[in-house]
Amino acid sequence: MSLTDQAARIEECSPATPEIPAPIQAERYLLAIDLPMRHAGLRRVSLRVECVGPAHAPAVWVAGGISANRHVLANALDGFDGWWQGCAGPGHALDPRRHRLLSFDWVGADGDLDAPIDTADQADAIALALDALGIARLHAFVGASYGGMVALQFAARHPLRVARLAVISAADRPHPFASAFRALQRQVVALGQLQCADELGLSLARQLAMLSYRSPREFGQRFDAPARIEGGRACCAAEDYLQACGQKYVARWSATAFLRLSESIDLHHVDPAAVHAPTSLLAVEGDWLAPPEQLEALAGRLAGAARLQTITSAYGHDAFLKEPQAIDALLRHTLAPC
């Protein structure tokens, strides 16, 4: 065999070089709009929107909790994982090859708007963003936690602009127990401000919030260890985790943004009879911010067809971030062609 034949034989038998997937196409927009707000009058606001996927694909708005932002998943503009990376991407129900996925930074998330913000304001801001982007109607609105509240509000206020909803761990109004817990968080922030310790107050409020996002079951599994003595005082096993959560939050958020978006949850109210879009609801056993019985009551009062699924998760309210398989199954049903 000649050297040429040998080289050809080696090339033939060598494994093919793996094909590197092309980055997912994306666009970002900064939209300046005049927003008539329910409690604050007409305000000029900036909307930071990210669109991922083909421009002419069915449009799906994706919205998460008050800490979520426009970056849902990694793409050509930002290769870092998005806040819902486990639930969106090629092969998932929220597939940017088949849908145009849209999201924005919440109105008030930049901390520049120190005024009451309603979920109705967020819904109207989304409608104005869609106008600017030339999108008349959404194939679906997918919302989890605060985003689910806004999804319901959007369907009630703009019924001709959305075909279907997926609402995860959210209801037509806040649960009174959850509102009381958030009120305490806001008082902690206010106390920090009075003591010229804004970051400490915000960190402690976030740590309190983490207790409401998760469940006693998870803490029992993760932090079942005796208290230790450090610096002459007892420290429980979960303290380091909670402090890390608080510090991470303070590095990205302002007290004003936290306070106003926390208030926005408690200002939320939608008449279920005004929601005509077919709606898939997901409740989580152990979620005491949006308990299953509240979503069950909502399902019975929606004007449109409603489907309620309840799952069990040690992650409580945060199941929408930690249970991607269950979320993907719900979304596949919601986004399936009619």
Which residues are marked as active site?
145, 287, 317
Measured torsion, CA atoms of residues 301, 286, 60, 253, in degrees rounded to the nearest 10: 120
In the DSSP assignment, the letter for residue 160 is G
Q: Alpha helices of the chain — where are they, by DSSP H?
A: 3-13, 119-133, 146-157, 176-194, 198-213, 216-222, 239-250, 255-267, 292-301, 319-322, 324-335
Specify whether the backbone of 211 is left (phi greater than 0), alpha (psi in -120 to 50) or beta.
Answer: alpha
Residue of 72, 121, 69, 107 whose CA lies nearest to 93: 72
Greatest alpha-carbon pair distance for the chain in Å reads 86
Strands 41-52, 100-104: pairing kind? antiparallel
Q: Which residues contact 320 (CB under 8 A, 6 or more apart)?
A: 64, 87, 144, 145, 168, 169, 282, 327
What 3-state DSSP class applies to 312? strand
Q: How far apart are CA 301 and CA 273, in angstroms?
A: 6
Q: How far apart are CA 150 and CA 106, in angstroms?
A: 10
Phi, psi of 93 (to 5 degrees): -60, -40
Q: How far apart are CA 225 and CA 61, in angstroms?
A: 42
* Residue 134 Cα to chain centre, angstroms: 24
Q: How far apart are CA 31 and CA 295, in angstroms?
A: 34
The structure tokens 């050809």 sit at 8
Sign of the dihedral defined by the CA atoms of residues 158, 161, 162, 167, in that order:
negative
Q: How far apart are CA 166 and CA 128, in angstroms?
A: 21
Strand partners, 34: 44
